[in-house]
Structure 1
Amino acid sequence: MANILIVGATRGLGASLANNYASQESTTVYGTTRAMAGPSNLNEKIVWIPTIDVAEEGVGRKLVNQLGVLGGGGGMVESGRVTFDVVIITAGYFATEDFVNGPKWDEQVKMYTTSAISPPFIVHSLFRAKNITNGSKILLISSESGSITLRHEKEGGGNYGHHASKSALNMVGKLLSLDLKEHGIIVSILHPGFMRTEMTKGVGFDKYWDDGGAVTPNEAAKSLVEWAEKLDISKSGQYWAPRGPRDIGTADVMIGTDLPTPLQLPW
C-alpha cells in the first residue's frame, strides 16, 4: 500500500493531486487543510489533517503531531507511525507587484513564508519523526518563474515576491536533496505547468490562459503523478518541467527551440 501526503490539498493543483491519488487502489492519501475539516467535494477517501497553515511558525511540528493523532488511517504503518512514499508540497500564494505602484512588504513576507520558508521546516519535521524514510520522494511545486535564466525583457520585471520566492524554493530544494541523499530520500523541484486556477485568475492571468497554453489542474496533476512514479535518485535536486516547454513563454529565446519533454530547467 502507498501513502501520499499533499500539503495544500483543498483546491487547485493540490485538490486535483489528492483526487488523483485517492482514486488509485491500495493508496491512502493524507491532505492538509487550514480549516477544521476538508472540503466535501473531494474524494471521501482522503484523510484530512486539519488546521495546518504553512504560513505559521511551528507548522512542521504541528503536522507530525496531527499525524500521530490520526495514526495510520488505513495506510502502511511502521511501529504505529505512518511513512510516506510521496510527499508533495504545493501550498502557494501569489500577489502581483509592479514597479510603478511599488513592492508590497506584507505580501512578499507571505509569499516567501509559504513558498520557501515553510518547506524545510515541514521536511525536517517529517524526517525527524521518521514519516519519510529511505525511498520516500518529496516533490516541491515551484514554477518556471523561479528561474533566473528564463527571465527576459519579453515578459518584463515586477512580481518580485512571486519570482524570488520561487527561486528561494529552488535553492531550498537543492540543499534538501544534498542533506537527504545519504538517507535515500529523493527531492524533486518542479514546474507543474501554467494552470487555469482560481489563483491565476485572481491575479488577472486568465487573460493569458489561451495564448499561454494553460492547462487544467487535473491535467497538470496527471503529469506530476506520472513523474513521481518514474522518479529516481538520479534526478534528485534537479529542476524539471514534466510537461516540457509548451507553456514557458521565454523558453525559445533563452534556451532554444525543439526542446524535449520532460525538460530540465536552468536555475
Structure 2
Amino acid sequence: MPGTILITGCNRGLGLELTRQFAADGWKVVATCRDLDRAEELKALERQYPRLQVYTLDVTDYRQMAQLAERLGGQPIDILLSNAGYYGPKGTLFGRVDRDEWRKVLEANTIAPYMLAETFCANVAASERKLIAVMSSKVGSIADNSSGGGYIYRTSKTAVNQVVKSLSIDLAERGITVVALHPGWVQTDMGGPNALISAQKSVSGLKKVLLHTSADKSGSFLNYDGSPIPW
C-alpha cells in the first residue's frame, strides 16, 4: 500500500527521479528543494500528480525546517529520506583543502540529516513503515578508501554514517528503522557524465531497498541493489 514519503533535495538528479517514481506509484510525496523558483521540472511533476506536495526547504535552515514540520502537523511520514547534499569543491587533495567549504559540506551532509531526523521523528513514529533513510556514499566507507584525498566530501559521509548508526540505536524504542544508502555512481550533475548508471536505474534499486528494508537491517549501510557496504 502506498504511504507518505518526505524527500529533500528534489529539484534535480536523484531527488527529482525519486519524486517522479514514488508519485507515479501513487504515494503521497512531500518534496522539498532549496530554490523552488528554479525547480521547473519539479513543479511540472506537481501539476501532474495530485498527491505530490512541493515545499521550499534549505536543509541547513533549521528554523525553516521547524516551520515545515508545523505546516505538516502530526501527519504520519512512512519514509523520511534525507537526500539533499553538497559536494563542495573538487580536487580536495592534501594541502588544498578549503576549511570554510569543509564546514559548509559538513553542515549540509552531516548535521542537516541529523536535524531532519530530530525534527520529523514523531511523524515517522506515527506511520506504519517507520523508516528514516540517509543518502550517504561509498566514498564515506573507511574500509573502501584505497585512494586517499577527497577530504571534504569523504569525511562528511563517514560522519553521517555514524549519525545513522546512533539514530538506529536511539530511535529503536520508537520502532523506527534507520539506514544509510549508497546510490551508486550516478549520471547526475554531481556524479558527472562518466558515471556508471542512470538516475532511473539507481532510483529503481533504491526504491526496492526503501520498500523492503526491515527492522533487522536498522543501522546498516546499503548499496542501491540492497547489498551491504563495509563501514
Tell me if both proteins adopt one fold, taking TM over 0.5 as the criterion: yes
Pick aligned residue for 2:76 from 39, 58, 83: 83
Which sections of structure 2, spanning at least 5 residues, go unmatched?
A: none
Report the secondary structure of 2:4's partner residue. Answer: strand
- Aligned partner of 2:123 in structure 1 is 131
Partner deviation per Cα, 1:24-59 (whole Å, 9 max, x = no partner) = 13x210101212457332322220112x11123435
Q: Is the 8 A contact 1:85 1:132 kept in 2?
A: yes
Which deviates the most, 105-114 or 94-103?
A: 94-103
Residue 95 of structure 2 corresponds to residue 97 of structure 1: no
Report the secondary structure of 1:132's partner residue. Answer: helix
- Aligned partner of 2:189 in structure 1 is 198
Report the secondary structure of 2:22's partner residue. Answer: helix
Distance 2:229 2:30 in 1: 29
Deviation at 1:125, TM superposition (A): 1.1
Distance 2:60 2:149 in 1: 23
Report the secondary structure of 1:124's partner residue. Answer: helix
Deviation at 1:118, TM superposition (A): 0.8
- Aligned partner of 1:115 in structure 2 is 109
- Aligned partner of 2:29 in structure 1 is 29
Pick aligned residue for 2:203 from 204, 221, 229: 221
- Aligned partner of 2:144 in structure 1 is 150
Pick aligned residue for 2:158 from 163, 167, 186: 167
Partner deviation per Cα, 1:195-217 (whole Å, 9 max, x = no partner) = 0111123xxxx4x43xxxx1111
Distance 1:220 1:99 in 2: 28
Report the secondary structure of 1:200's partner residue. Answer: coil
- Aligned partner of 2:59 in structure 1 is 54
Q: Is the 8 A contact 2:92 2:152 kept in 1?
A: no
Residue 227 of structure 2 corresponds to residue 236 of structure 1: no
Partner deviation per Cα, 1:86-116 (whole Å, 9 max, x = no partner) = 1111101112233365101121111111111
Higher fraction of helix: 2
Distance 1:100 1:161 in 2: 11
Report the secondary structure of 2:60's partner residue. Answer: coil
- Aligned partner of 2:227 in structure 1 is 263
Normalising to structure 1: TM-score of the pair? 0.78
Q: Is the 8 A contact 1:38 1:48 kept in 2?
A: no
Deviation at 1:62, TM superposition (A): 3.0
Amino acid at match of 2:118: H
Distance 2:92 2:9 in 1: 27
Distance 1:37 1:186 in 2: 34
Distance 1:60 1:187 in 2: 20
Distance 2:115 2:135 in 1: 16
- Aligned partner of 2:40 in structure 1 is 40
Amino acid at match of 1:39: A
Amino acid at match of 1:233: A
- Aligned partner of 2:69 in structure 1 is 64
- Aligned partner of 1:184 in structure 2 is 175
Q: Which runs of 4+ in 1 moved over 4 A?
A: none
Amino acid at match of 1:32: T
Amino acid at match of 1:232: S
Percent sequence identity is 29
Which of the pair has more CA radius of gyration?
A: 1
Q: CA RMSD in A?
A: 1.8
Deviation at 1:236, TM superposition (A): 0.4
Normalising to structure 2: TM-score of the pair? 0.89
Residue 16 of structure 2 corresponds to residue 7 of structure 1: no
Q: Is the 8 A contact 1:189 1:238 kept in 2?
A: yes
